[in-house]
Amino acid sequence: MFRILLVLAALGSAGAARAETEYYTGYSQIMRGDYAAAQSMIEKELKAGPRDADLLLNLAFVYTRTGRRAEAAALYRQVLALPDDEMMSNGGTVMSHDLAERGLKRLTVLADCRCGQ
């Protein structure tokens, strides 16, 4: 199953995953910068069902943007423990493991330079 992704190249990190149904993934809230609403929605969905790579990636993105890097890293590792999921990104395809690895690298860079989000 393909999922559409938006990779925020300007940030150099994995962006918010956008599934066919944007509502439950928190994608729209993330794009508006409403991280609290996105987090609430995503966490509710994760409690209700199986671990989806798109939900975990989006929550990791929210955690990164709100300074919770350790929690974001744990979520990226959870994505790596799932089967690699092919997703669409900017007209091409990208694998969920690639996004998780990019997210972990981004966290390492942020920690090393003590940069902001």
**What pLDDT does 15 receive?**
54
pTM of the model: 0.77
**What pLDDT does 7 receive?**
36
DSSP states along 45-84 = HHHHS---HHHHHHHHHHHHHTT-HHHHHHHHHHHHHSPP
Backbone dihedral angles phi then psi of residue 21, each to the nearest 5 degrees:
-105, 105
Is residue 78 within 8 A of residue 56, CB to CB? The reply is yes
- Walk along the chain (117 residues) in steps of 10 and give the mean pLDDT of each run: 36 48 74 94 88 91 95 97 84 90 91 62
